[in-house]
Structure 1
Amino acid sequence: MADTARAHVAGEVAAGFEGVREEFAAVVAREPADTGAQLVVHHGGRRVVDLWAATDAGETGDELAPLYSVTKGAAYLVTALLVQDGVLDLDREVAHYWPEFAAEGKGALTLRGLLQHRSGVIGVPGGASVEELADEQALAARLAGQRPLWRPGTAYGYHALVIGALVGEVVRRATGRTVQEIYEERLRAPYGLDFYLGLPEKDAARTRDVLPMRPTPEQAAELRESVPPQALRTAFNIDGTPDITVYGNSPLVRAKGPTSAGGIGNARGVAGMYAAALTGLDGGPALLKPETLAQFTGTGTAGADVVTGEDRHFLVGFEAQQVRYPYLGADAFGHCGAAGAEAWADPSTGLTYAYARRLWAFPGGAAPENLRLGEAVFRAATA
């Protein structure tokens, strides 16, 4: 899509959600035309917001793009279903399922601790190639023998590009199947979700590349002057793939769908995924029972993330959403994506929210507009 094209808001909202359309229009007006913004919301399982930024290129809201760490939410939902089924136990040691993981003092770490990013194995020292990150089974084998940066369980830090391989290996050892296979069978296919952990060839034509950030001169100076600490360099693979847009746009990553950050989808698919789990879609039953939700949202990480510095960053797997969005309930859960996407589910209101964009937002992670968009959604739902 040409940056000079004029963007306008397309789509529809349910009665009472007109303020969300107005807030989204304000976002579209101030962002470049090729931002590729999408916003979808479900309330009680019913879609009440379906908006996108359209241009003369003829977008219809079903375009797909790399969603980076939003993908983690799909992996954690699969894990939650397996816990609900009794296949996995959050308080069993990872090594119970995966004996090799016990190397270098990691034997006591539980699955709960792994999901809370407490393993200390935050990445590959010196960096990994895109091809290595895309091969999750080989990556897991490499990480199993790795020495952790801290004694497992005593601190937590974002395992940005390896948590999917680690959790995925636990799933594979316990079930004989990959997270991608289980997700396809139990979530994506039954609900027709436009969110893929492994992009089918037939959907390649409607997939758009993520676009690199276009910082202002002031932002560019801030980026040049910042020196990432070594933990962050390792976790985000800065020494291996300094331009993370290369990872998201890689045909290999798209085909394999690595569960740390390799999912391809749109806002409709992600909001529908969380609605299926939380409330059920369009009158159907919820996938997750209340007691399962409580296991994943009832306890969180205290203190600062030693990689990102974020306070109280995680629940169990999922990011703690109330920290970023104080209008949400304490048990609101979800995950953002590096280019600016955000996705969450709020049990207290029955809302599920997904925002996606193709143009990388400064400085990375959940784009700033999510705060105001989410607040407009919350006001409409609770008016």
Structure 2
Amino acid sequence: MTLVETGFGKVADTFFRTVADDGRTGAELSVWVDGKPVVDLWSGIADERSGRAFAFDTPMVTFSCTKGMASVLVAMLMERGALPALDTPTVDIWPEFGAHGKDRITIGDALAHRAGLSAPRRDLTIEEVLDNELMADAIAVQEPLWAPGEHHQYHAVTHGAITGKLVALATGRPIRDCFAELIARPLKAEAWIGLPDTEVPRVAHVVTDTLEGEPPKGDPESIAWMERAIDLGCGITFDKFNEPRFHRAGIAGVTGIATANALARIWSATVTTTNGVRLIGDSTMEALREVRSEGPPFFADPPPYQRWGAGVMVPSDWDRYLSPSSFGHDGAGGQVAFADVDAKVGFAYLTNRMADDWDLGKRVTAALADALG
């Protein structure tokens, strides 16, 4: 049953306006305040091939919103003493990472897109891409693309290899297992970083032919490196994210699977007790969202620019979220998921439509800001 508490009607109206009326795609929205849901909505088509409609429990690929979930898990392991603090050199737990002068990179630097590993210098194989640890091993030994720690550039896919490796080093287990045990199960959240085979048929089908627009403009070399950060030299495209092997693999930067309710529930639990669970304490949360990277990235890119904490996005001209106390991560197609410290909010907007209007979730966030006053 859909849920819209009193005072959130305009949020609901804005959400429904983000859903295209072509009968091909849809979206989900979940908002939690003070540890309880106040909005749960879904609309549209989850799989255009069968005509299956979205439901409350339809999971979908969360694209880069996955980075936020993985970074929260890393923060939990730090709080529990399984990983050292963010300002610890990464080589202290991952010696191979120090190749070619990367020994100066701290864990916080690596999570904040400062490691110089935004794209691989050599073409990765599909087998490496589908295995967080194999990808991590490949990028750890490569020469960085810039002086380590001196610049930043979005690690679109390789960020997940870094977080996955950190989790594995801390626990001896893959990130899929740790995420399930420490986050998803305690919160009873339908979210995965590495989907079980039994859940594959439920996943919403991503529609990619709605992507349009002009070719990117700017320095050709910079554009080439930014494109390589996504295709990794082996032709990764958005269509790949409909393949069950990508769902099962659990690439910790881009192939998380969740319902909007689950994702909002997780973010809620970073700032307030939710379903009896608080994932991280206040001091850990503040360390996670402390600004570590901002301004123009290393490879030329027009503004607005993103701003990063340790693996989480914090408010900037790119996305102001709800308030200056927000932190979270967005994803392809206009997806947005975040928490807000002051308002005690957990928020998730997810869509299976890969169109060029990537402001969909931002518009719903703005409506929520108005509703909360």
Fold-level similarity (TM above 0.5): yes
Which of 198, 203, 213 does residue 199 from structure 2 map onto? 203
Provide the residue aligned with 1:39 in structure 2: 29
Give the Cα separation in 2 of the matches to 1:350 and 1:11: 22
Give the Cα separation in 2 of the matches to 1:359 and 1:58: 14
* Structure 1 position 90, deviation (Å): 0.7
Structure 1: where are the runs of 5+ without partners?
Answer: 1-9
Change (3 A) 1:193 1:275: same
Query: Does residue 160 of structure 1 match 2:156?
Result: yes
Give the Cα separation in 1 of the matches to 2:13 and 2:279: 33
SS at match of 1:51: strand
SS at match of 2:31: strand
Provide the residue aligned with 2:292 in structure 1: 300
Change (3 A) 1:84 1:295: same
Which of 8, 12, 20 does residue 21 from structure 1 map onto? 12
Counterpart of 1:84, as a letter, is E
Change (3 A) 1:326 1:135: closer
Provide the residue aligned with 2:57 in structure 1: 62
Give the Cα separation in 2 of the matches to 1:306 and 1:300: 15
| Total equivalences in the alignment | 363
After TM superposition, list the pairs within 5 Å mapping 1:1-383 onto structure 2. 11-28=2-19, 30-54=20-44, 57-88=52-83, 89-215=85-211, 219-220=212-213, 222-223=214-215, 229-237=223-231, 239-246=233-240, 248-282=241-275, 284-307=276-299, 311-326=305-320, 328-362=322-356, 367-382=358-373
Bigger mean CA deviation after superposition, 33-42 or 331-340: 331-340
* Structure 1 position 355, deviation (Å): 0.7
Counterpart of 2:291, as a letter, is T
> Does structure 1 conserve the Cα–Cα contact (< 8 Å) formed by 2:289 and 2:308?
no
Change (3 A) 1:129 1:212: farther
Q: Deviations over 1:261-281 (max 9, x none)?
A: 111122111111111222121
Give the Cα separation in 1 of the matches to 2:64 and 2:34: 25
* TM-score with structure 2 setting the length: 0.90
Give the Cα separation in 1 of the matches to 2:171 and 2:92: 13
Calculate the aligned-residue CA RMSD, in Å.
2.2
* Structure 1 position 47, deviation (Å): 0.4
Provide the residue aligned with 1:5 in structure 2: none
Provide the residue aligned with 2:48 in structure 1: none
Structure 2: where are the runs of 5+ without partners?
Answer: 46-50
SS at match of 2:104: coil
Give the Cα separation in 1 of the matches to 2:114 and 2:328: 18
* Structure 1 position 242, deviation (Å): 4.9
* Structure 1 position 62, deviation (Å): 1.5
Give the Cα separation in 1 of the matches to 2:40 and 2:369: 15
> Does structure 1 conserve the Cα–Cα contact (< 8 Å) formed by 2:291 and 2:314?
no
Give the Cα separation in 1 of the matches to 2:209 and 2:139: 31
SS at match of 2:352: coil
* TM-score with structure 1 setting the length: 0.88
Change (3 A) 1:243 1:134: same
Give the Cα separation in 2 of the matches to 1:178 and 1:242: 23
* Structure 1 position 331, deviation (Å): 3.2
